[in-house]
Chains A and B, each alone.
Chain A
Amino acid sequence: MGSTIDGHEPGNEGADPDSYRGFSLWSSEVGSASIGGMNAGPVLARPDGVQTVLVVDDHEGFRTRTRRLLEQHRYRVVEAGDGAQALARAASEQPDLVLLDVNLPDTDGFAVAIGLRRAGTTGAILLVSTHSAIDYADRVRDSAADGFIDKADLSAATIAAALALHP
């Protein structure tokens, strides 16, 4: 334990935890609630209009599962299997949130995040990985994404919190 950034050991994230821009702030709050509060029926901030989430991941199983989770909560889901597709889908769909896997077959999430921002994506960008954020050290801190989340912490609550970053 302690390798996750879900708030178990917030003091272990470095000398300056606040530098995890937006990330440690909300993920440590929301992330822990998501597991512990799974059957506690958290109050989800449901959007008025249908919001679009772009799921970028080369694992089809994960994309499908995430799609079902998001659709259950009435999000519109667009999928991309690699970095190139992600940039194309983002341009055409203007997603409100991009769930961006760090490990991609053609590039990595950090590069895609920069590409998305350059291409004018205004929605929130959330890096996701089965690795913990600490495995990527400064790269997460310095990335163009708004935050990082452990794949296992993905829930309606974390999605809503991420969407709230870019209202």
Chain B
Amino acid sequence: MSWRRGLLIAAPVVAFALLWIWIPDSPFQSDPIAAITDAVTGWILVAAGLVTWSRRPGSRTGLWLVVAGYLWYVGDLYFVLPNASIVPLLSFGLRGLYDVLLAAALLSFPGGRLQSRVQRVAVGAVAVAYGARAIVFLETAFPGFNYPDNGTPNPFLLLSDRALAENLDIDLSLVKGSLVLIVGCLAVARLLRESAATRRVLLPVVVGGAAWATMTLLVVLGQALAVNFHVQLLPWANEAWWPIPEYLIRGSAAPLGFLVGALLLRTARSAVVELVTGFEHSPLRAQLEPALRRALGDPGLRVAYPAPDSGWTDSSGTPLDLPSASSPVASTPVVSNGVTRAVILHDPALLEDPGLVSAIAASVRLAMDNEQLAVALEAQLEETRASRRRIVDAADAERQRIERDLHDGAQQRLVSLAISLRMLGDSLGDDASKVVRDELAAAGVELRGAIDELRELAHGLDPAILRESGLGPAVRALAERCPTPTKLQLELDGRLPRVIEATAYFVVAEALANVTKHAQASQVAVRVRAGSGQLLVEVEDDGRGGAEAGRGTGLRGLADRVAAAGGTFQVGTTAGGGTRVAAELPTAP
């Protein structure tokens, strides 16, 4: 690529050197506008050729344009070396080849192939006309007519009849001009026939080419009419300003068109970048087709996906037929791990850049693999969340069962035992010994302690108040039991899902237990607020802080529990240095 860039830079330098510096008596020195236009025209052609070459390395169009650009300069040798024998003669002859290359490029841009027989015949005819004119030029040039009087005779001279030579030249110019017009018409016809993807880059080329063809025809026709019939085709043809637009359009219109068209040619890299940056939202299927259409500039592009049973569908599930071998639509499969995940149906012109479609297909494959992985990961995550919820639910159910067993079993038995002891006490006569009375009293106290401890145990497992009365009363009971003065703020309306109530309750209970045990706080604020599908639980103390979610099984367990319920859990430090425990839980299932 760097050597091509070198050529691009060298071309105008060479041109200017030739025209202005190296040749002291150059006619361009007296006509700077013509000189600049001349130099720039060649430069534009070389640039258009190099851009096309780099973006369509497999196409010959780029090479043709570069060669045409240099031929443009070669032709200048005739003007800048008027007395240097045979070299300028040859160069002037070669200059006409520029038109042939331009015609071929116009009909083949950017793919490099002339697609129809008519196109090939037209370009061939232009080449023949060029050749005929070059031969006539060489055979008729003698000193005083297209040849310098420098003592060296023209080795090709056959005919030294100046009038005949002039007429021949004009006739051949007319033929060539007509052929160029035909090429222009073929280019317009091609523009109308091509797919939208190609049309986009072809339009500036054809507009420039049509301007070039029209002006070429006007000039040769004007010359012919002026010489043969002394009629002015264009009334302004003799005006002093006319050569400037004429020269500009004949010289630069087509090269400019090629340059614009070449710059519009999409590189594989830019198309991939545009495609990949376009993928932002899932699901991929819904956005793939429009994204590919944009990236490849092919509005007719479709993406077919294998149907679950057999056949193909589009992204919405509508059946889609893959093109047959003779179809004008090209298809590129997207294959991942040996499985065809999709088929891109597109304009075959896109295949002219061999890297483009394969790079796009690779990007699509990566995006599809990525999406599949994301979907699998999300499914795994969901499964993990669900299993964590099930574990918490199972643990809760087990705690409930144990609480119920304790309540219905041991607690009832102990209560019955307490009543029995009381009956025993009541039935003791006044003659009962002090030892018996004292032992009975001690047993009563002991039993009462056992009942209370058992109740505490059951309460910790599954607080009845939470089950019976809901989160609000349960949290209020916690606040009332807390030895640290507690400011309670409850914004609750009705009952919440059981697991959410239990989780919120345990957050408050554990946080308050921590405050009591560690915080050395003088006050604690408890806020429980439900709204817009969320339950916010906050416990804030004014103690010495230092609590962390990762440390201590209590807070760690809370974090796990909250996460299992689909919520978030935070332990932080308040502005006053105390501890803030906060959980946010989803209240809608």
Interface residues in chain A, defined as those with a beta carbon under 8 Å from any beta carbon in chain B: 1-4, 12-14, 34-35, 38-39, 41, 59, 61-62, 65-66, 68-69, 72-73, 103, 130-132, 134-139, 151-152, 154-156
Contact = CB atoms under 8 A, between A and B. Distances in A.
B465 A135 contact: yes
Given A3-B452, A137-B473, 4 more contacts: A13-B480, A68-B423, A72-B423, A154-B422
A59 B414 contact: no
A137 B465 contact: yes
B415 A62 contact: yes
Contacts of B445: 35
15 contacts: A3-B452, A38-B426, A38-B441, A39-B428, A39-B444, A41-B426, A41-B430, A65-B419, A69-B419, A69-B426, A131-B407, A131-B459, A134-B477, A137-B477, A138-B473
B481 A2 contact: yes
B423 A12 contact: no
B412 interface: yes
B285 interface: no
A160 B11 CA distance: 121
Contacts of A155: 419, 422, 426
Contacts of B480: 12-14, 134
B79 to A, nearest CB: 108
A97 B552 CA distance: 51
Nearest to B412: A59
Contacts of A136: 464-465, 468-469
A117 B418 CA distance: 30
Contacts of B426: 38, 41, 69, 72-73, 155-156
Contacts of A1: 452, 456
A4 B414 CA distance: 16
A34 B474 CA distance: 29
Contact of B465 (A12, A13, A134): A134
A13 B481 CA distance: 9
Q: Is the interface of B mostly helix, strand, loop or mixed?
A: helix
- For the complex of A and B, the 5 pairs showing the least CB-CB separation, nearest first, are A137-B473, A135-B465, A135-B464, A38-B425, A39-B437
B441 to A, nearest CB: 5
Interface string B379-419: 00000000000000000000000000001100111111011
A12 B416 contact: no
B427 A152 contact: no
Nearest to A63: B416
Contacts of A12: 480-481
B451 interface: yes
B444 A38 contact: yes
Interface string B439-478: 0110011011001100110010001110011000110110
Contacts of A152: 414-415, 418, 447-448, 451
B400 to A, nearest CB: 14
B435 to A, nearest CB: 11
Given A61-B413, A72-B426, A38 B421 contact: yes
A3 B20 CA distance: 109
B420 interface: yes
B534 to A, nearest CB: 24
Contacts of B412: 59, 61-62, 130, 151
A65 B445 CA distance: 19
A137 B438 CA distance: 36
Given A4-B452, A39-B428, A137 B419 contact: no
B415 A151 contact: yes
B98 to A, nearest CB: 100
Which residue, B411, B444, B445, has most C-beta atoms of chain A within 10 A? B444
Contacts of A69: 419, 422-423, 426
Nearest to A156: B426
B72 to A, nearest CB: 98
A34 B422 contact: yes
Q: Taking each of B414, B428, B448, which has the highest tally of chain A beta carbons within 10 Å of its own beta carbon?
A: B448
Contact of A38 (B440, B452, B469, B476): B440
Contacts of B413: 61
Interface in B21-55: none
A135 B459 contact: yes
Contacts of B420: 65
